[in-house]
Structure 1
Amino acid sequence: MMSWLAVVALAGWVGLRLLGWEPAFLWSQLVSFTPYAAVLSLVPLPVAVLTRDRPLQVAALVVAGAFATVVLPRALPERNPPAAGPVVRVLAVNLLHSSVPPSALMAVVERVRPDVLHLLEFTDRMRERVEGLGLGRLLPYEVVLPGKNSEGAAIYSRYPLRPSETPIEAPVFKGSPRHLPAVITLPGGREAEFVAVHACAPSEGWRTACWASSIRALPPAAERPRVLAGDFNSTLDHVVLRELIATGYRDAADVTGKGLSMTWPYYEQPRLFPKAAIDHVLADRRIAIRGFETVPLPRTDHRATLTELVFP
């Protein structure tokens, strides 16, 4: 009986995920953990075999297969389009209200040598400290969106950049995070747009109204190559993120077979606490994605993302 209840519950889970229906914000949180549900879907199979319950075997196999179609592709690398242009390394970091020690951030920047750095939850005080430690020497160009706690953001670059003219009409609530677009002139003179992404979280109160609309506000892929990198507060199991990708992007973790690399929450959480992949790098389909990895930093609940892109 318990096995049947588990199969029915998991069937409902994967059915909602496949339909793309997110009936309430609580489900929008829960669906983030679909990879764990996929693992649980394997448990009724040996029970069904041992009990020789043929209907249960069939039902469990169908449910596990449905989860496999949703989750397994993230662990399989995809082919890249031909690209022989500039190679750009992008590091995106959520600083958790700028709680990351500036020296630790600088140590990572000096070690991985990004060409573009997205900083989220970036405060004026943090800016003073990291620039005092020489961030401007490594990445001399910057566009900064001032703000307190989770509102601020910045893009630092090895190459010339300027504020983007692309309007991002994200919903504005007091204290809500904001996206920051900028245009970078790559070696060879071609321009590309980079957006430091920080979407609202699908939680209680005003954030519930802010969440999906803050992702829908992000610009679709366009004629000029565009890269969106940062904290989307969404996983590949959220239909709102998949719709954005479908406009002409590819998810860097998914493309490199690392789509199950979890990025949150890590700070002050038990080691076995379930994690979700809510930090992403979405690159125009014409851009080759040569590498993706997550990078730990102290005193933040997010893993940073480091991506190597090859532009056409």
Structure 2
Amino acid sequence: MTQQGGTWPDDSETVPLDSGSAPASFVPKSTARRAQSTRPMPQRVGAGAQSYPDTSQFPAQPVSASAQGGAYSNGAQYRQYQQNRQYPQYQQYPQNPQYQQNQQYSNGWQYQQYPQYQQVPAAAPAVAAAPKRTHTRKSPKHGFLALLMWLATAGIVCIMAIREIPFGIDGSRWVPLIAGFVPWLAIASALFLLLSLLWHRRLLAVVSLVCLIFQVVWHIGFFVPTTSLSDEAKQAVTQTDANGLPISTDKYARIMTFNTTTGKADVNAIINEVREQHVEVLCLQEMTEGFVQRLEAAGIDNVLPYHIVAELHHGDNGGCNGIWSLSPMQNVSGDLVEVDASRVAAATITLGDSQVRFVSVHPSSPTRGNQGIWGEGLSSLSSLKEYDHTYVLMGDFNATWDHANFRNILGSRFVDSSQQSGGGFHMTYPANSKIPPLIEIDHIVHDKGVVVGDMQTVELAGSDHRALLATLEAQ
């Protein structure tokens, strides 16, 4: 290229720039003139000064080649190209629509119109947020039911306290009636414990658990035996002699107690049960004169030929008490201790080498107006602890093991056979009713000198009590 008229062509003019096989592009003449010049590039002085190599060493490229910053015809374009190489982070945003738009520009100056891309730091690894603790909202229905359970639990605690009322105080109107249902409280406490755990009522669960523990500990003897019969005793009571009667010369006997409900019980059902169970000692309560006559007419003397019947007098609690035995009786009494409700029949019977004194009892029931008589009758029976005999008391005590008055009879000498045999509860009242038996008021109380086990209850027609049977082993 030559100078025209001593001057360079006007910059507005363009000249073709040969680029080998590349198509020609037009650039300003001044730019083309500088590109063909062999003179070195001027040096910048001062801050940010930078020298640029001769651009002739770079291959000529078309001005329109945007990916490489255009033709490197001067230092400014080279500088822009170098700047483009300093921003590889643009490649981290291939999906960004604005970056896709930026790719149409061929130099760094136009890239700098989007500085926000240079400020975006590398994405930090995602950190899993700690799970937030959520609280389940308690439904109003559960809240109301929980309130009812609290009230019921408070009632359970009160009944448990009633059970521990000392002797002589629990003769008030409602105490004996309520205390008779203590064994059923364990079911209620277990249910409340389960529901309170499901509904997250922690305090109620703790209180219910404490109540349940106390109730189980109180009644553990009903399910874990403290004594047990020998195998010889269990086998002996199943054997009979040549006449089909139980063997009366050993120290084992099947015994039975039954409240006849003012003499309304079926006498034939009683005698049949005596035969089938091989009963050797039978105690009956609430007998009338007519009942005794029917019983004798039905043949009671054929299976139990010996008996003692207490004298019947006005004011008896439904009738008199009596004892029937397979073996001869000794030291019989129709009024052993003073009990206003009904006189106490007693007799001593020989079992092997032991003398056992059997007593048929029936103190007054704790109904309205009779609480005082009920308490006095139980107190009179507790005086038998001071006598020198081996006692077995059988009958309708009108009290449960959870009554303090009844436990006072036991003291440290006597035991309730049901409470120590481990056979569970033996509910005897009510019977022959749509309501199942709910309370255990018929008992066999005995000295620790004998063992009683294999207990069971039997429902006999005509009575509102179940008969209670057991096997006795004398020592």
TM-score (norm 1): 0.89
Structure 2 residues not aligned, in runs of 5+:
1-146, 234-249
TM-score (norm 2): 0.60
Across the two proteins, how many residue pairs are aligned to each other? 305
Partner letter of residue 292 of structure 2?
R
* 1:257 partnered with 2:257: no
1:232 to 393, 397, 405: 397
User: Residues of 2 paired with 1:254 and 1:44: CA distance?
Assistant: 26
Q: Rg bigger for which structure?
A: 2
Could you say which residue in structure 1 is the equivalent of 2:243? none
Which runs of structure 2 are paired with 1:158-307 in the superposition (5 Å)?
A: 158-164=326-332, 168-172=336-340, 176-188=341-353, 190-205=354-369, 207-218=370-381, 219-220=384-385, 222-267=387-432, 269-272=433-436, 275-307=438-470
Please list the CA deviations of residues 251-282 of structure 1 after superposition, one character each: whole Å capped at 9, or x if unmatched. Answer: 11122223411001113x3235x610000001
Which runs of structure 2 are paired with 1:83-94 in the superposition (5 Å)?
A: 86-94=251-259
Identity of paired residues, percent? 26
Q: Is the 8 A contact 2:309 2:334 kept in 1?
A: no
Which runs of structure 2 are paired with 1:121-132 in the superposition (5 Å)?
A: 121-132=286-297
Question: Which of the pair has the greater relative contact order for Cα pairs under 8 Å at 6+ separation?
Answer: 1
Q: 1:12 to 1:281 in 2, by over 3 A?
A: same
Could you say which residue in structure 1 is the equivalent of 2:194? 46
User: Residues of 1 paired with 2:329 and 2:152: CA distance?
Assistant: 53
Q: How many angstroms does 1:153 deviate by?
A: 1.7
SS of alignment partner, residue 368 of structure 2: coil
Q: 1:287 to 1:129 in 2, by over 3 A?
A: same
* 1:12 partnered with 2:170: no
SS of alignment partner, residue 9 of structure 1: helix
Q: 1:167 to 1:129 in 2, by over 3 A?
A: closer
SS of alignment partner, residue 275 of structure 1: coil
User: Residues of 1 paired with 2:287 and 2:421: CA distance?
Assistant: 29
* 1:22 partnered with 2:185: no
SS of alignment partner, residue 236 of structure 1: coil
Q: How many angstroms does 1:2 deviate by?
A: 2.1
Most deviating of 218-227 and 131-140:
218-227
RMSD, aligned CA? 2.4
* 1:55 partnered with 2:218: no
Partner letter of residue 126 of structure 1?
F
User: Residues of 2 paired with 1:69 and 1:78: CA distance?
Assistant: 14
Q: 1:109 to 1:80 in 2, by over 3 A?
A: closer
Could you say which residue in structure 2 is the equivalent of 1:74? 222
SS of alignment partner, residue 373 of structure 2: helix
Could you say which residue in structure 1 is the equivalent of 2:149? 3
Most deviating of 72-81 and 177-186:
72-81
Q: How many angstroms does 1:147 deviate by?
A: 2.3
2:325 to 145, 157, 166: 157
Q: How many angstroms does 1:123 deviate by?
A: 1.9
SS of alignment partner, residue 121 of structure 1: strand
Partner letter of residue 76 of structure 1?
V
Most deviating of 216-225 and 4-13:
216-225
User: Residues of 1 paired with 2:267 and 2:228: CA distance?
Assistant: 36
Q: Is the 8 A contact 1:17 1:31 kept in 2?
A: yes
User: Residues of 2 paired with 1:228 and 1:292: CA distance?
Assistant: 15
Please list the CA deviations of residues 141-170 of structure 1 after superposition, one character each: whole Å capped at 9, or x if unmatched. Answer: 111113277231211111111344697443
Q: Is the 8 A contact 2:219 2:419 kept in 1?
A: no
Could you say which residue in structure 2 is the equivalent of 1:110? 275
